[in-house]
A and B are shown apart, each in its own frame.
Chain A
Amino acid sequence: MEETLVEEANGYRIARQPFYLPTGDEFRLFQAACNARLPVMLKGPTGCGKTRFVEYMAHRLNRPLITVSCHEDLFASDLIGRYLLKGDETVWVDGPLTRAVRLGAICYLDEVVEARKDTTVVIHPLTDDRRVLHIDRKGEMLQAHPNFLMVISFNPGYQSILKDLKQSTRQRFVSLEFGYPDPETEARIVAHEGGVDQQTAMRLVSLAGKIRGIRDHGLTEGASTRLLIYAAKLVHNQTPEREACRTAISLPLTDDRRLQETLDDLIDDFFAGDGPENNNA
């Protein structure tokens, strides 16, 4: 039994170390929370590296990682597990949460606000000092493995109050705040992930800085690091820079034609056309 568990756990380990550059004290804080068995909430805008951070930490701490992307149709049974019919019998199948609790894995609920409110309630007994999971259907009370760690991510950028986390959920987590990295770090990330030179990466980052500063135009969130990496990847694959930025940054960000025009103007400022560069500087 023990061996099967170990084997199963190994299936969830991250094989290669993911690329991650720290932007602050997040390694130490996460490690401390982990040692103290405190659930962790990662806050930050979309595409700033929350998921990558969890993967990196799972690798660094050598823990299995089970990720669930939350959506509004996610039910408690999707997390805990359910009976299925196999042959003439009904067979219980663990959901990802139950599996993580048994294996002592990190259970990462990505974009937890997307899940239904009644679903998030099942994690409550797991995220206080009881650390137990009730499996109603089986009448089982499962004590969490000592290594089990609950991590959720949450994007406070959502304007809707409806998609805010309830206080009873919020107050069960220690919280790490993520923002976009500082320009130099972000440029290194873009250069590494997107396979472009440092100078191009820096220009992409400066462009993103401008876009993130836009107010009042109906842009709810600025260009994420992820989008910058996409643009860089396109450039790496021989797409002209301006074209790449349009495809990966301005078009995904907005459907508003006038806003796109402004974004394209900014792109033009950073990336030259085909004309000869004659600045004599």
Chain B
Amino acid sequence: MDLKTTTPDPLRKLDLFDPETGEKVRRELQADRAAVSPQMLCMLADETIWGLSLEVSFGQAIARGMLALMRRSPLSLDSYRSGVRHAGGKGPTLGRLMANHLVSVLLSGHPRIRHLFFKAFEVMEGAGVYTLPKPLEALDRILYAEDFRSAEAYLNLLCTTFSRKIPYNRHQQFTVLLSKAALRYAPAKRPWLLTQIERVMRIDDRLASALMSGMDKGLDLLSGAALSRFVSLGLDRNEPDRQRAEKFFALDSRAGRSAFHELQVAASFLQVQPQLNRYLQARTGQEVSVRPLSGLPTCAGDIRLDDGATCSDGKSIYLPDEVDHFDAQAENIKIYKCLTRFEAGLHEFGTFQFDLEKALEQCSENPQCRRRLNPGQSGAGQADAASDLERFFGFFHDPLLAENLYLIFEHGRIRRLLAQSYPGLVSTCLPMFQNEARMVLAKGANRQPLLPIYARIACGLPPQELQQSRAAGMDLVRKTAALFDNAMQQDGPTAETSGMLVAESYAEVETFLGRNGHPAENGSFLPLRTPFLRCIRPDLHRQAGLQIEQMARSLKKQLADRGIHIYASVLRDHLVTCRGKLRARGIEDILHRPENYTRRGRAGKQPLLGESIEIPPGELSAIAGADFVSSPAPRSDCPSFWYREWDCRLEDYLAEYTRVRECDVERCSSDFYTSTLDRYEGLVQRIRSAFELLKPQGLKWYRRWIEGDEFDYRQLLDFALDRRAGRTPSERLYIKRIKAQRDVAVLLLVDLSRSTASTVAGSEASVLDVEKEAIVLLSEALHVVGDRFAIDGFSGAGRLGVEYFRIKDFSDPLDDTVRCRIDAMSPRRNTRMGAAIRHAASRLSAVPCRVKLLILLGDGFPNDLNYKKTYAVEDTRRAIAELRAQGIYVHAITVNMNPENTLRLDELFGDIHHNLISDVTDLPDRLWRIYGSLTR
């Protein structure tokens, strides 16, 4: 707007009062073209000056607020002024809060929200100004997201909460709790979740916090009615006993959990993820996993997440975070299962292996397609960035339409192939997609012109049904379906077959859409919304496989320069299989298969069977580019071992992720070992005699057996004598010899983390010192009993720096060297337990003993850089499970830890597989006993 025409300039006084604010306001006004009357400007200047006179930030807040309202809701300026004046009268802090947060309220235009806001503001002001900022910021975000129902419920909740007479710290707690909760809940469910919290808050604030913690544990998955029912059940419990109700709401009681499970309708992704991942791995044999849609790369979303679109990037299948489509949870879980089963088909039947060159070759064989494909189009232009599929769509006038057609044919193709390979799958899952298609069609097929074609081809709905639904363009549906059926008669239709079908049908569909008021030119063509919003996202696939794609292209080019023309998809597949590490052998294998050659390649240079194409290794690395470089070379003086690690967030292994280095212990000479034996002299005697009893006696003779290796001559004599005397002789005449041996190998793995340096109460010794004493005593015991044993320690920092110390090998005699090494064990750094356990397993598995035992001696939970809490616990659990699968027993002994941790240790090691010794000084006497009872 032009300020020069308004005289006198209402902003002049503002300029005089505070030139900086005045300048800001002018800049804002100039950037905006909205009509602003001089009265408004006058009001802005007056109010701002008033605010500035009280406090600079207050004045600035008023200016900002009024500017925002002038643009979008000039009529509410008066309300704003009176609200801010009222609050500002009580002090600039309150005034600023009002000036900041009233804007979003007035912009909402809802009188009810305005009323509630003022009420809540007053209540919270009464409770203390400190209660205002956080909750109001959350309110702003809800209002700007135009979620007015939630805003109303939230304001109600704030009124109720802060009108309660509760101590300061509880109020303070609620400012954080409520604002976090309000923002965390899914917008669709937020209103009723907040309403129920408010309902409970009216009765007791402690119950309300319990309910909120229950919501963090999954109560927020309940439907509105179910949650209301749950709350009623909880409140019924409140009458006799508040603590019971609290536990009920927080899902800490059995009653609470079972009520929750009964009422639960929605299925959440986390609930089904492990099962789906196991299934996918079993079915596809590939490293495909499911992920939640909320984990999609943000740049890739033109589809709204709450729509629940299902898609795949070639490595992962993205599923909705939550499904509440049906009224029964079992049905909702079934949706997850069916979606996963069908999407896995895309991976199995090569949707993402679409090869542009192959598709174009196929199209060029078909005169109809050749005519319709427009090679001059953008397809060739986007060469570098786009994937093959995207480039293919670029050949068409409207790429979006081509993409939609491809989706139809590809889903149809997958359905047909699934029906051949997995009849059970199709008969269980397809009806669900069909029903959904019927419902969408019934809602109005005319708004979605491609839906009938999708329903016919991809869902396999019979044509009669489509006719009944009076879907438009039945002719087109029939023709396209005939085209599709015809193409599917071929042997093994591929992704390129679908591409060809797109080219064949495109023109007709485009004409149909144009004729029926769905023109594609101006972007108003309504894209296909499939049942459960399944879609194919070439962009995602491109992003996920960018590195491989680039390598494949460079490889293709390098080969082409040598006159060898191979399909890019073949090279891509190979690179995926070999995880980007090229080997000359693999390339040779590719070159020996005639079907890998493009048409141009088939005409040119091709090796005969048995003849090898020579590509020197140096050249191969040139072909593969920088990615040919293998993992960083380890230090040569310490042998290194690579192990995988379990990532519980991915539900998958990270291959070759941790490096374990076997390090030497610094040598020293001391009399620690002998002095320990001296100190525990009495105990050592007892241990020795106890373990003597465990020691087997070589060959065992079993006399008086019915059958055996030799006669027992004493029995034989008795036999003869009995017969002579006319008595019935005993038949037990044999001796059986059985060689009894303890075939046990045990590895004692000691955690040498920094925390073992802490001193033991009432002595100068460290935790590790006491552990070492226990090790000395156990060594003596094992020496007596003759079991093979090894002692190792571990520590380290970071995934590449796990240190593993071999103190005593299975074959080492218990000599001075070993004794010195035991003494030299010292506290080091962190505890990456999973890697150390895996390495210990590889050591144990090389020992030819029938019973193998790993004893893990530590003083805490696993912990390392980027290896904490759940992640660390899950990886350790996984490593232990791997060992158990290999037939290695794992037993853990944790010292110096509070007994409250028993449950968490149970979870980590399994309840019967560990001992917690809170007082480490008990260890020397306990360790050998535990071992003895384990191997009795």
B-contacting residues of A (Cβ < 8 Å)? Answer: 75, 77, 82-83, 85, 118, 159-162, 164, 203, 206, 210-211, 213-218, 220, 242, 258-259, 261-263, 265-273, 275-281
Are A159 and B886 interface neighbours, CB within 8 A?
A: yes
Q: How far is the CB of A38 from chain B (nearest CB, A)?
A: 29
Q: Which residue of A lies closest to B709 (CB)?
A: A77
Q: List 30 A-B contacts (CB under 8 A).
A: A82-B709, A85-B733, A118-B739, A159-B887, A161-B845, A164-B848, A206-B421, A210-B282, A218-B884, A220-B885, A262-B275, A262-B278, A262-B282, A265-B275, A265-B283, A265-B337, A268-B424, A268-B428, A269-B422, A269-B424, A270-B423, A271-B423, A271-B424, A273-B427, A277-B423, A277-B427, A278-B460, A279-B419, A279-B427, A279-B460
Is B899's CB within 8 Å of the partner chain A?
Answer: no
How far, in angstroms, from A265 to B430 measured CA to CA in the complex? 16
Known: A213-B282, A214-B282, A258-B274. A279 touches B426 (CB 8 A): yes
Tally of B interface residues using CB under 8 Å: 47
Given A278-B434, A279-B415: A211 touches B424 (CB 8 Å cut-off): no
Separation of A273 and B334 alpha carbons in the complex (Å) = 14
Q: A162-B849, A279-B423 are in contact. List 4 more A-B contacts (CB 8 A).
A: A75-B709, A266-B282, A270-B424, A281-B415
B262 within 8 A of A: no
Given known A-B contacts A75-B709, A218-B881, A278 and B430 have beta carbons under 8 A apart: yes
C-alpha spacing A279/B884, complex, angstroms:
44
Contact indicator A272/B282 (Cβ below 8 Å): no
B positions within 8 Å CB-CB of A: 274-275, 278-279, 281-283, 285, 337, 341, 415-416, 419-428, 430-431, 434, 460-462, 653, 707, 709, 711, 719, 733, 739, 743, 845-850, 881, 884-887
Cα distance A210–B733 when bound, in Å? Answer: 54
In the complex, what distance in Å separates the CA atom of A28 from the CA atom of B282? Answer: 37
Q: Which residues of B contact A281 (CB under 8 A)?
A: 415-416, 419-420, 426, 460
Contact at B431–A214, with CB atoms within 8 Å?
no
Are A269 and B425 in touch, CB under 8 angstroms? yes
How many A-B Cβ pairs are below 8 Å? 110
Report chain A residues within 8 Å CB of B421.
Answer: 206
- Are A273 and B424 touching (Cβ within 8 A)? yes
Contact check, A262 vs B850: say whether CB atoms are below 8 A apart.
no
The verdict on A258 contacting B422 (CB below 8 Å), with A210-B283, A216-B653 known, is: no
Please give the distance in Å from B258's CB to the nearest CB on chain A. Answer: 20
Asked whether, in the complex, the Cβ of A272 is within 8 Å of the Cβ of B848, the reply is no
A-side contacts of B428, CB under 8 Å = 268, 272-273, 275
Q: Which residues of A contact B711 (CB under 8 A)?
A: 83
Which residue of A is nearest B417, CB measured?
Answer: A281
A242 to B462, CA, bound (A): 28
- Residues of B near A160 (CB, < 8 A) are 850, 887
Q: Which of B420, B707, B743 has the most CB of A within 10 A?
A: B707
| Inter-chain contacts of A265 with B (CB < 8 A) | 275, 279, 282-283, 337
Report whether A162 and B423 are in contact in the complex, using a CB–CB cutoff of 8 Å. Answer: no
User: With A and B bound together, what is the CA distance between A269 and B429 in angstroms?
Assistant: 9
Most chain B CB within 10 A, of A206, A214, A277, A281, is at: A281
Cα A218 to Cα B275 in complex, Å, equals 15
Contact across chains for A278 and B881 when beta carbons are under 8 A apart: no
Q: Which of A206, A215, A269 has the most CB of B within 10 A?
A: A269
Identify which of B279, B416, B460 contacts A262 (C-beta below 8 A): B279
Please measure, in the bound complex, the distance between the C-alpha atom of A273 and the C-alpha atom of B424, giving whole angstroms: 7
Distance of B468 from chain A, by nearest CB (Å): 16
Q: How far is the CB of B423 from chain A (nearest CB, A)?
A: 6
Contacts of B430 in A (CB 8 A): 278-279
Q: Report the nearest A residue to B422, measured CB to CB.
A: A269
Closest Cβ of chain A to B53, distance in Å, is: 70
A261 touches B275 (CB 8 A): yes
Chain A CB within 10 Å, residue with most, of B278, B430, B711, B733: B278
CB neighbours of B426 from chain A (8 A) = 279, 281
Which 9 residue pairs of A and B lie closest in terms of their CB atoms, listed nearest first? A280-B460, A272-B427, A218-B885, A269-B425, A213-B285, A281-B419, A269-B422, A262-B278, A161-B848
- Check B278 against A217 for contact (C-beta < 8 Å): yes
Known: A161-B845, A279-B460, A281-B415. A269 touches B341 (CB 8 A): yes
In the bound complex, CA of A8 to CA of B431 (Å): 65
CA distance A216 to B280 in the complex (A): 13
A265-B848 Cα distance, complex, nearest whole Å? 38
Asked if B709 contacts A267 (CB within 8 A), the reply is no
Q: What residues of chain A lie closer than 8 Å to B845, measured between beta carbons?
A: 161
Residues of B within 8 A of A159 (CB): 886-887
In the bound complex, how far is the Cα of B845 from the Cα of A278, in angstroms? 52
**Residue numbers in B under 8 Å from A210 (CB-CB):** 282-283, 285
The closest CB in chain A to the CB of B644 belongs to A216
Q: Which residues does chain A contribute within 8 Å of B719, judged by CB atoms?
A: 85
CB distance from A280 to the nearest CB of B (A): 4
Tell me how far the C-beta of B714 lies from the nearest C-beta in chain A, rounded to whole angstroms.
15
| CB-defined contacts of A216 to chain B, threshold 8 Å | 281, 653
- Contact: A272 with B424, CB < 8 Å? yes
Q: Tell me the complex Cα distance, A270–B426, Å.
A: 9
Bound-state Cα–Cα, A273 to B275, Å: 20
Q: B849 — which chain A residues lie within 8 A by C-beta?
A: 162
Residue of A nearest to B881 (CB): A218
Cα–Cα distance between A85 and B708 once the two chains are bound (Å): 13
- B282 x A270 contact (CB < 8 A): no
A271 contact set on B, CB distance < 8 A: 423-424
Note all chain A residues with C-beta closer than 8 A to B461.
280
In the bound complex, what is the Cα–Cα distance between A268 and B460 (angstroms)?
Answer: 21
> Which residues on A sit within 8 Å (CB–CB) of B281?
214-217
Assembled-state Cα–Cα distance A266/B460 (Å): 23
Question: A254 to B871, alpha carbons, bound, how many Å?
Answer: 27
Task: Name the B residues within 8 Å of A268 (CB-CB).
Answer: 424-425, 428
For A118, list chain B residues within 8 Å (CB): 739
A218 to B886, CA, bound (A): 8
Bound together, the chains give a CA A280 to CA B337 distance in angstroms of 22
Name the residue on B nearest A215 (C-beta): B281
Residue of A nearest to B461 (CB): A280
Q: CA–CA, A210 to B719, complex, Å? A: 62
CA distance A253 to B743 in the complex (A): 28
Query: Are B341 and A275 in contact (CB-based, < 8 A)?
Result: no
A266-B887 CB under 8 A given contacts A206-B421, A273-B424? no
CB nearest to B850 among chain A residues: A162
Closest residue on chain A to residue B275 by CB atoms? A261
* Set of chain A residues within 8 Å of B283, measured between Cβ atoms: 210, 265-266, 269
A261 cross-chain contacts in B, Cβ below 8 A: 275, 278
A270 pairs with B427, CB closer than 8 A: no
Q: Shortest Cβ distance from A95 into chain B, in angstroms? A: 12
- Tell whether, in the assembled complex, residue B279 and residue A266 are in contact, meaning their CB atoms are under 8 Å apart: yes
**Cα of A281 to Cα of B884 in the assembled complex, Å:** 46
Q: Is the CB of B285 within 8 A of A162?
A: no
The listed residue with most B CB atoms (<10 A of its CB), out of A160, A261, A265, A273, is: A265
B390–chain A nearest beta-carbon distance, Å: 30
Choose one: A77, A211, A276, A279; the contact of B282 (CB below 8 Å). Answer: A211
Tell me if A275 and B709 are in contact (CB < 8 A).
no
Q: Are A278 and B427 in contact (CB under 8 A)?
A: yes
Residues of B within 8 A of A203 (CB): 423
Residues of A within 8 A of B434 (CB): 278
How far does the alpha carbon of A76 sit from the alpha carbon of B229 in the complex, in Å? Answer: 74
Query: Which chain B positions have C-beta within 8 A of A263?
Result: 282
Q: Are A258 and B733 in contact (CB under 8 A)?
A: no
In the bound complex, how far is the Cα of B281 from the Cα of A184, in angstroms? 24
Chain A residues with CB below 8 A from B739, complex form: 118
Q: How far is the CA of A220 from the CA of B887 in the complex (A)?
A: 11
Q: Report B418 CB to chain A, min CB distance, Å.
A: 9
CB-CB nearest in chain B for A76: B709
Q: When chains A and B are docked, how far (Å) is the Cα of A210 from the Cα of B653?
A: 20
With both beta carbons as reference points, the residue of chain B lying nearest to A242 in the complex is identified as B424
What is the CB-to-nearest-CB distance from A4 to chain B, in angstroms, rounded to a whole number?
Answer: 26
Q: Which B residue's beta carbon lies closest to that of A160?
A: B887
A279 to B418, CA, bound (A): 10
Instruction: List the B side residues contacting A267 at CB < 8 Å.
Output: 424
What is the CA–CA distance of A276 and B430 in the complex, to the nearest angstrom? 11
